[in-house]
Amino acid sequence: MDAKNFLSKLEFRPSEEESKILRKKANIFAGLLKKELKRKKIFAEVFIGGSMAKGTLVKKKVNDIDLFVRFDKKHENPSSLLEGVLPEFCKKNKYKLTKIHGSRDYFMLQNEEGFIFEVVPVLKIKNPREAENVTDLSYFHVRYAKKKMNKELARQIAIMKAFCKAQDVYGAESYIGGFSGYGLECLIIYYKSFEKMAKALINIKSKLILDPEKKYKNKNDIFLEINESKMQSPIVLIDPTWKERNVLAALSNESFQKFQKVLKEFLKKPSFEFFKDKNAADKKALAEFAKKSKAEFVELTLWTDRQGGDIAGTKLKRFYDFLAEELESDFSVLKKEFYYFENKMAEVYFVLASKKEKTKVGPFTNLKKHCEAFRKMHKEIFEKDGRLYASEKINKSAKKFIKDYAKGNKKKISEMGITEVVIR
C-alpha cells in the first residue's frame, strides 16, 4: 500500500462523541473560571485555545486542554494576578494546582478523573507586535488556524502530530528541539497534506525558507529583518500572524535530520509502527543491534531535583549529551537514545564499542622533568614531532567507566542538576 492510501485510512482525533464531551468539560471549566474572576473583580477574558479550539486535538488517554486568561496590558504581572485567584478556585472545584515555571509562569489544574487544564495568563493585545511573551500570540494563532481549517486539514494535522510525537520530535522545549504544535499546523496548512509535506521535506539539505502569507517581498528581506539568532533552524517558517517571528526557531538540526530519516522510511514502506509511542520494543532492538555489532548495551536512569517539564528535561538532556562526549574518549558511540518522562527522570540507552586502545598526549621533549614523570606513569611511550605520547589499553567495560565516572565526579554532576545516575 502506498503512503497516500495508507494515510487516507488514519484517524487520530477523538470521535465526535468524545469531542463533544471534551468541549462540554472545557466550556464548563471556562465558565466557572470566568465567574470566579468576576467575583474577585478581575476583568479578564477566558478563551479555549490550543488544539481543542482548532480541532486538531490528538486522542490520548489523558487529554489536556489549554485555556488562556487575557488580562489588560496595564497588568505588569498577569501570572501573579492569576495565582491569587486559583488556589481558592481549585479548593472549591476540587482541582489539584501546580505552578509551572517558565518565561511566564502558568498553571496546571487536574481533577480526580485525571482531566488536565493548563491555564495560561496572557496580555490582551490588539497587534502581535505588542506581545511581551510568545504566549501573548496564542489568541492570534487560534484565529489564524481556525480561519484556514477544514475537516481534512484537521485530520492531516492530527496525523502529523501523532507521527512527530511517536518519533520524539514534537515540542519546542529545548530538551527536544522539535516542532511546536502551531508549527506543525502551519506546515500542513501550507502543504495541504502530510504526504505532500513529507515529500517536500525529505530532501532538504540546506535551509528552507517558508513565508506562507507572503509577508516579505523576497528571501533577502527575511534575512535582513529577522534577528540572526532566530534564523539558525533548518526550516525558517515566517509566522502568518507576525512577520518578525520564525515559528520553527526551536527546531534543531539533530531533530530535523532524525525527522527526515523516518519520513523517508515511512514513504518507502508505510506502517502504523511509525505512529506508535516508543517503548520496550526499542530497547530490545538496541540490545539486538549491540549483540550483532559485538558492542555493549548500557541502560541508565538519570534523576534530577529540578522542576518537571522544560527545566528538568533540559538538565537531563544536557547531562546525557555531556556523558556521551565523555564516553567517546574510550568508546565509539554506535547508537544512543534519550527518553524523558515529563517528571524528574529520564531513561537513556547507549550502544558502545570499546576503542581497545587510546593515545594520551604528553609533554614536549624539551621539558625533561615532565617527560620523566610521564614515562614513570605510562609503559608504552612513543615520540612524534617533538612530543611524547602514551598508548593505553582500554580494559574497562562501559558500565564500569560510567560507574567510576559518576563516583569520581559527584560535585560536577550535582552542579549540572543531576541527583542520581543509576546503571540498570
Per-domain residue ranges for the chain?
Answer: 14-146, 150-274, 278-356+395-423, 357-393
- What is the CATH number that goes with domain 14-146? 3.30.460.10
| Residues paired with 364 in a beta bridge | 387
Q: How confident is the model at residue 388 (pLDDT cuts 50, 70, 90)?
A: confident
Q: Is 408 exposed, middle or buried (0-12, 13-18, 19+ CB in 10 A)?
A: exposed
* DSSP 8-state assignment for residue 248: T
Tell me whether domains 14-146 and 150-274 share a fold: no
Please report, for residues 6, 183, 226, 250, 329, the alpha-carbon distance to residue 232 in angstroms, rounded to integers and kept in the order given. Answer: 34, 16, 11, 9, 29
pLDDT, average across residues 291-298: 93
Q: How confident is the model at residue 342 (pLDDT cuts 50, 70, 90)?
A: low
346 touches 338 (CB < 8 A): yes
pLDDT digits (tens, 9 = 90+) for 14-69: 888 988 989 999 999 999 999 999 999 888 999 999 999 999 999 877 778 999 99
pLDDT, average across residues 238-263: 95
> What cell does 157 get?
494535522
**What fold, for 150-274?**
Poly(a)-polymerase, middle domain (1.10.1410)
pLDDT digits (tens, 9 = 90+) for 167-189: 989 998 888 899 999 999 999 99
Helical (H) or strand (E) element with 107: strand 106-110
In this prediction, residue 279 carries a pLDDT of: 55
> What cell does 107 get?
498553571
| Residues paired with 237 in a beta bridge | 210
The pLDDT > 70 percentage for the chain reads 98
pLDDT digits (tens, 9 = 90+) for 262-286: 999 999 999 988 998 765 547 888 8
The yes or no reply on domain 278-356+395-423 and CATH 3.30.70.590 is yes
* DSSP 8-state assignment for residue 175: T
Q: What is the mean pLDDT of the chain?
A: 90
CA angle 57, 62, 67 (to 5 degrees): 55
Amino acid found at 63: N
pLDDT digits (tens, 9 = 90+) for 399-411: 999 999 999 999 9
In this structure, the strands spanning 106-110 and 96-100 are: antiparallel
The count of other CB atoms within 10 Å of the CB of residue 336 is 17
CA–CA dist 17, 40 (Å, integer) = 35
Using the predicted structure, report yes or no on whether residue 243 has a pLDDT greater than 80. Answer: yes
pLDDT, average across residues 328-333: 90
Buried b (16+ CB within 10 A) or exposed e, 173-200: bebbbbbbbbbbbbbbbbbebbbebbee
* DSSP 8-state assignment for residue 58: P
CA–CA dist 339, 337 (Å, integer) = 7
Locate all alpha helices (DSSP H) within 151-279, ordered by sequence: 151-166, 181-191, 194-201, 219-225, 253-268
Q: CA 52, 57, 61, 67 torsion: positive or negative?
A: negative
SS3 of residue 320 by DSSP: helix
Q: Which overall architecture, per CATH, does domain 357-393 show?
A: 2-Layer Sandwich (3.30)
CA–CA dist 11, 9 (Å, integer) = 7
